[in-house]
Amino acid sequence: MMNAEIARREASQIPKSKNDVSISLKKNYPEIDFELIEGDSNIKLNNIDRKFDFILIDGGHSFNTVSKDFELCEKLFHKNGVIVLDDYTNRNSEFKAGYGVRRFVDKLDRKKYKIKINKFPDFFYHEWGMLVTQIVIVKLRS
């Protein structure tokens, strides 16, 4: 569902097919029961009527997209569940490539959520400089 224009606007790569991701997950994590949902998150997430223990948000990277994805996912996870956001980036990436995950996470209410930023980053080289990414784990406070 992603084309080159959307990938550029969302600072994303065109993803592998749903089937390729499913095969990889089954191979690497055979003990985990998962469901992949393909499509526009603004549509798909509004049509889900159950709760999840774990949700990974790794779609578009603009501030608006991340904010909307989190808002929709927040309604879908159990009170003891976890939402993980991918691609919390260094500030240079935010300004040079348009990543909005860092800005979104930094604005989350620390009184409502426990937020843990993974200490082990990934590094990617781009023409504009180094992209440093981390995952963020978000849980509701009790």
pLDDT at residue 33, rounded to an integer:
86
pTM (2 d.p.): 0.76
The pLDDT of residue 93: 61
| pLDDT tens figures, 57-67 | 887 778 888 99
Tokens 């996912």: give the residue.
73
How many Cα atoms within 13 Å fall on the side-chain side of residue 59? Answer: 23
51-140: which CATH number, 3.30.70, 3.40.50, 3.30.110, 1.10.12? 3.30.110
Q: Write the CB contacts of 2 (distance below 8 Å, at least 6 apart in sequence).
A: 10, 12, 14, 15
pLDDT tens figures, 67-84: 999 999 999 989 899 999
- Of 3-12, 69-78, 104-113, 114-123, minimum mean pLDDT range: 3-12
Percent of the chain scoring above 70 in pLDDT: 83
Q: What is the pLDDT of residue 17?
A: 77
Strand 77-89 with 52-57, pairing: parallel
118 vs 98, higher pLDDT: 118
Q: How many CB atoms lie within 10 A of CB 125?
A: 8
* pLDDT at site 37: 80
- Is 131 in a helix, a strand, or coil? strand
Give the whole-angstrom CA distance, residue 82 versus residue 80. Answer: 7
